[in-house]
Amino acid sequence: MHPEHPEKKNTCAVIVTFQPDADFGGRVAQIVRQTGGGVVVDNGSAEDCTRELRKICDSLCLHFIQNPGNRGIAAALNQGVHWAAEQGFQWVLTLDQDSLVADDLVAKLSAVYKSFPEKERIATIGPNYKDANSGQLFLRINGEGPIWQEVKTVITSGSLISLAARATIGPFREEFFMDYVDLEYCLRARAHGFKVVLAREPLMQHTIGVATMHKLPWKTTGTSNHSPARRYYMTRNHLVLVREYLRNEPVWAFSTLYSRLKSTVLMCLFEKDRVCKLKYTATGAFDGVLSKFDRKMH
């Protein structure tokens, strides 16, 4: 028997915040119209910011969870998903605070579910998206085909997660703290025999880092300008995943290792604080090889 298809009444939005900007309320309102409920989990924003968040949540009938400090994206997502499950929701729509979603995001993701032949094996359905800075698509569409494409991983923001599948897959991995939390969940889902699906239509504007574009002699390329701490977590968690999934996902492992190397080179060429970032990257690589999770970076 197939699980119930995702729709407004059985879908809960889970949004993790930390010092969101002034336009956050408008973006959340666009999400709330598409879901049967929602929860905002704040990871230690300043007091004046949390006051505004409470006002927004009260006006939109959202549940609000305030953490006294930054517990990390994985722990905050788990808090939100746990609350959604307690309320009887069957699907959660996980979102970053700065993503701008289409008015029909949930309806289009639900259409993907209905079109996919192995519905009972779906773990998560993510959206194709445009980078808010470059305008580039995450997935470039070539030719005709179904409205979906099976992929290895999708990002957290804008993704529908089946709570029925999650009961088998397990929660987000809190020791990762931030970065690669979504990719780890997808790889673990695949290891359990579930499917990760992407809607081919772009349904969201999203930015990874604070991207800037730079000209090389043969092409124009971009770099993310992530902070030193983010460079640490990205490198550490990526190498942990490569070690754990090299045998089952060799194509993913080698292609992402190449992307990580290229990102590091571009960081050294174009970004500020490159010496500090390179130091944090090296520390992350050391901890990733050893699967060492007790170091906290700020």
Containing domain of residue 109, as a range?
8-206
DSSP-derived secondary structure for 97-162: TT-EE-TTHHHHHHHHHHH-S-GGGEEEEEEEEEETTT--BSS---SS--SEEEES---STTEEEE
Residue 268 lies inside a defined structural domain of this protein: yes
Last residue of a domain, one of 168, 186, 206: 206
Same domain, 141 and 79: yes
Same domain, 238 and 101: no
Residue 249 lies inside a defined structural domain of this protein: yes
List pLDDT tens digits, range 111-145.
999 999 999 999 999 999 988 777 778 877 776 78
Give the number of other CB atoms < 10 A from CB of residue 144.
5
Say which CATH number the domain at 127 has: 3.90.550.10
Burial 280-296 (b: 16+ CB within 10 A, else e): bbebbbebbeeeebeee
- Encode the chain (298 residues) as per-residue pLDDT tens digits: 456 899 999 999 999 999 999 999 999 999 999 999 999 999 999 999 999 999 999 999 999 999 999 999 999 999 999 999 999 999 999 999 999 999 999 999 999 999 999 999 999 999 999 887 777 788 777 767 899 999 999 999 999 999 999 999 999 999 999 999 999 999 999 999 999 999 999 999 988 777 787 888 877 788 889 999 999 999 999 999 999 999 999 999 999 999 999 999 999 999 999 999 999 999 999 999 999 999 999 8
Residue the block writes with tokens 């009972």: 120
Residue 236 lies inside a defined structural domain of this protein: yes
Question: What is the number of domains present in the chain?
Answer: 2
